[in-house]
Structure 1
Amino acid sequence: MTENSVPQDQVQPRSIVARLPKYAAGKPPVQIQGLSSFKLSSNEIPFGPLPQVRQAVLDQDALNRYPDPLSTKLREALADYLDVPADDIVTGAGSLGALVQILNTFAGQNEDGIQDEVIFAWRSFEAYPILVQTAGALPVPVPVLADGRHDLEAMIEAINENTSVILLCTPNNPTGPILTQAEVDDFISRVPRNVLIVLDEAYIEFVRDPQSVDGVKTYKANQNVVLLRTFSKAHGLANLRVGYSVAHPEITNNLRVIATPFAVSSVAQDAAIASLKHIDAVYERVDSLVAERERVVAALVEQGWKFPATQANFVWLPLGEKTTQFVERAEARALSVRGFAHEGVRISIAEPEANDRFIGLCAESLDLAQS
């Protein structure tokens, strides 16, 4: 028996578990005396919940009861907000949970032993390859272009008879660029109608580019498109885990078969409903964060940094082999950032003080900038 082998009389996981990439959550900042620490590693917004949302949470008095498994009140509120049928909405534990439901329904290993294939840009959301393989499907990552955008032509070329799902992340996490309506319309027209296209719009509320794809419009026009959204980012409810998908009944009826029962608590549902009722206040805060993003971007451009155009609540610095050095310099300034080894660093937009310190760090780190 080799040093790392497991005795045959012990319980063992599926073989895929050892091959899965590990999801790395954003680390908390290092505490440094005399400095306020800031977490810029998880794309959380820096604001607490709206007062009305906080009150909705405090008003909970039925924690001994299971929540409505269909999230009926929340789906009705979302239907009014998005102008879509409530039956087209399926809730999940964050957009991540909603995506798990989609992949478990439409991608896996078939009865003939052949794996479905799921195409996605890379680098994109790091959970994609984990969730695809957990579902039993084969991940097909397609490298992003030099400017951090999806290489849609290469994604089209990757389609074959085993392709079941394509994931499009817009704005793309962690690089930041959007997909435009024109290029998505063209892309969809070239994808077989039996392939499901997922528009992951976790950061859609931060988008200000008028050419950006409109996910609601796009799903309405296409039977094989599903929209993925979350309350974790702009609404500031990351801890409550509430997200949802929007698609036509041919898709949602199947999703509900797979959907995890009671995945969204009544606490999360009522908080999300309260947030939708005060959507103007939500957007006021989002607008202030977008203004901070534009201030940070302008400062970095003035310093001479080159990086992808972002429409999200983060920026991406393509630092390559110098990624670890930048992460260490940030830690020395009580800032936690999200480093992707040998590729780059994603930095969330946060409080003005944190953003000022990040701008200063970048000014002192031009020696690390990739040419």
Structure 2
Amino acid sequence: MARADIALGAGLAAVVLGLSLLGVGPEGPEGPLDWGAVALAVALGVAVALRRRYPWPVLLAANAITLTWFHLDYHGRLVTVAPLIACYTVAAHRGWRAGVGGALVTAATTVITVGVTMGGEWFGDQVANAIPLEAAATALGAAVHSHRAFRAGARERAERIAQARSEQAKAQAAEERLEIARELHDVFGHTMAAISVQAGVAVHVMGRRPEQAAEALQAIKRISDDGLAEVQVLLGVMRSRNVRALTADGGLAQLEKLLDVAGVRVELSVTGEDRAVPVAVDLAAFRIVQESLTNVRRHSDASKVWLSLAFGDGSLEVVVRDNGSPAGSGSSGPSPVGGHGIGGMRARARALGGELSAGPVAGGFEVRCSLPTREVR
């Protein structure tokens, strides 16, 4: 029970009784004030105080108390305010349909009250004065109900939007973590494979050609520095949550640098117009080439790799083919790092709407990937 309703009920009961005691009214005192009037006024105040919790019972009680009040000829017409408050409350808390029903009940009670207590020439005037007030109270309550429903709907929509945004942010964060994990796999895999090749060269020629061993060690130093720089970029991306920054040390612009440390002879062929491609496609193509070369070094006895980039109308095709024997090529087998090799490349391609195939071909092993170069919306 709200304090405002308690105050309203107590105030209405006090005013009704006070006016009855003073005999205020255009016609003066209409009858004695006894304990029956006090009981009805108190009951009226209690009913008004409970109006929010029990709208319909309060409306019926207010009308019954008002009818009884006039039937017993007690003075104080302010008692008619209670049914108006009840009409408003029913409409405000139960909607306009219930409000119309409450207004009809109150109007019928008004007609009965006026007919029993006054009648005659005053009947039409009293009813004509009361009905518009009851209709106005009901209309006001219905308007308040509609406004509350609108605000509640707006809050619900805002909550749904906020929840959708939160879920979208979580999904985006998960995708970013997956992307960073893929990048870490590619960086570490490529770097360690290149270091392994150069270290093997250094060990093999150290006693006979120390200058070549020194070049291999310098290559190891350069590869290590580049790998460390890429890891630092990834750590920065993790802090800033800006996956686009991953292209800082990746992309087809870095392809020549990648081929220099491939550890195997690579023949590059570029066809079509070398045009700008979306950032995600540029990075994916670079990482697919990088992973393919890493797989050749790790799992193949190939001595040469043919790399083809074909820029077409709306697509970029990447082909990496080696001359390793099918039996010796482990590229098609399980990756030693949990299947993130070919599986990771295929996931990259599909994420951009492309396709990737990998498997033995005549004279070696081939990875073929087609990526759309139009922005995916």
Larger Rg: 2
Question: Which structure dedicates a bigger proportion of its chain to helix?
Answer: 2
TM-score by length of 1: 0.24
Higher strand proportion: 1
TM-score (norm: length of structure 2) = 0.23
Q: Tell which has more relative contact order, 1 or 2 (C-alpha 8 A, sep 6+).
A: 1
